[in-house]
Amino acid sequence: MKLSLGPLLYFWERDVVQSFYQSISKSPVDIVYLGEAVCSKRRNLKLDDWLIIADMLDAAGKEVVLTSLALFEAESELGLLKRICGNGRYPVEANDMAAVSLLEDQSPFIVGPHINTYNPSTLALLSESGARRWVMPVELGGETLKQLQQARPDNIETEVFVYGRLPLAFSARCYTARAQNLPKDHCQFCCASYPDGLLLKTRDARSFLTLNGIQTQSASIYNLIYQVPELVSLGVDVLRISPQSEGTLETIDAFYHAMHSEVNGNRKPIEDWQIVDYEFCNGYWYGQEGMLWKRTDEYKNLESALNR
């Protein structure tokens, strides 16, 4: 089993992004996804800049994958997609069927979590089109994964999103700009003020959603660290962590040790770390409401080991 770092979903300053990936190069993560998956207006780093970071990570022994947008709205975005798909150096994660069409029979590619891979027939079709790995859509649960694992083609790997704010929906509107009373076309890149998205609360002050430009995310952090033994038993090949502005390296370390059943002195369960005050959820895994955070007795042995 390998550990991956998904694409950066937020709009960070250029030097922050470069410094972040320098630190990732020294981490135990195996696979790193690079590029813009949310909004084409975020151009602090262009494709050539991402390729420079990719070369640095490749030299550090990481498998690098270039990601693509999940929602296309303009001809210029399709032009960039063609450049990404034809980069000739690194495999590509397709988050839209337009990317699948461009990558079909061209090179092995990865099916991202935004493509609705819900059944064995879709999985078989994508495999025949040249996919070598698929990322399970975040709204699916453990039982569905079990069924798809039993039916998946032999030549395709499975990756599961295990940590981060869940990407729930995309819209042509930019809700972060709207919250600042700004039109989308003159957004002033206000999303840069929210390195982990803009938290949306209900009238009774309960965390509800996170606004990230045109993307809507969960308010809570999806966390499957206690499901690692089950993911191993299901034959999952890759676990994906989504970058956050704080604690990403520590999260990678925690999942790395959970995957390898290692015990590190003074390690604590991830939700007890006092790095940031995150709320967690895992309801989708159980086929229940996504906001639910459920811990069962079946994971006490793992918690005990991580606490030693």
The CATH number given to whatever domain includes residue 79 is 3.20.20.70
Strands 131-135 and 109-111: parallel
CA angle 104, 102, 239 (to 5 degrees): 70
Out of 36-45, 114-123, 166-175, 185-194, give the one with best mean pLDDT. 114-123
Structure tokens that stand for 226 in this block: 């206690």
Number of domains within the chain: 1
66-96 burial: b if 16+ Cβ within 10 Å, else e = bbbbbbbeeeebeebbeebbeeeebbbbbbb
The predicted pLDDT at position 305 comes to 44
> Distance of CA 58 to CAs 32, 71, 294, Å?
9, 28, 38
Q: Helix, strand, or coil here: 172? A: coil
Per-residue pLDDT, 232: 94
Q: What is the mean pLDDT of residues 262-289?
A: 66
Assess whether pLDDT exceeds 80 at residue 301.
no
pLDDT band at 59 (very low <50, low <70, confident <90, very high): very high
- What was the pLDDT predicted at 260? 82
pLDDT band (50, 70, 90) for residue 25: very high
Answer whether residue 273 shows pLDDT above 80: no
Indicate the pLDDT class of residue 308, thresholds 50, 70 and 90. very low
The confidence score (pLDDT) of residue 265 equals 42
Question: Cα separation of 232 and 229, whole Å?
Answer: 5
* pLDDT value of residue 261: 67
The pLDDT assigned to 266 comes to 42
State the average pLDDT over residues 4-15: 96
Mean pLDDT of the chain: 89
66 three-class SS: strand
**Distance from chain centroid for Cα 172:** 21
Q: What is d(CA 61, CA 51) in angstroms, rounded to the nearest whole number? A: 15
Residue 298 has pLDDT above 60, yes or no: no
pLDDT value for 74 = 81
198 has which bridge partners? Answer: 211
Q: What pLDDT shows up at residue 186?
A: 87
Per-residue pLDDT at 296: 61
Euclidean distance between CA atoms 236 and 149, whole angstroms: 8
* Reported pTM: 0.90
Better-scored residue on pLDDT, 65 or 187: 65
Mapped onto helix, strand or coil, the DSSP state of residue 278 is: coil
CA distance linking residue 192 with residue 65, whole number of Å: 24
Q: How far apart are CA 27 and CA 236, in angstroms?
A: 21
Domain of residue 129: give its range. 2-307
> Could you give the 3-state DSSP secondary structure of residue 110?
strand
Please check whether residue 66 is in contact with residue 6, taking contact to mean a CB–CB distance below 8 angstroms: no
Q: Pick the range with the lowest mean pLDDT from 52-61, 163-172, 236-245, 266-275.
A: 266-275
Q: Average pLDDT in the 74-100 region?
A: 91
User: In this predicted structure, what is the pLDDT of residue 71?
Assistant: 87
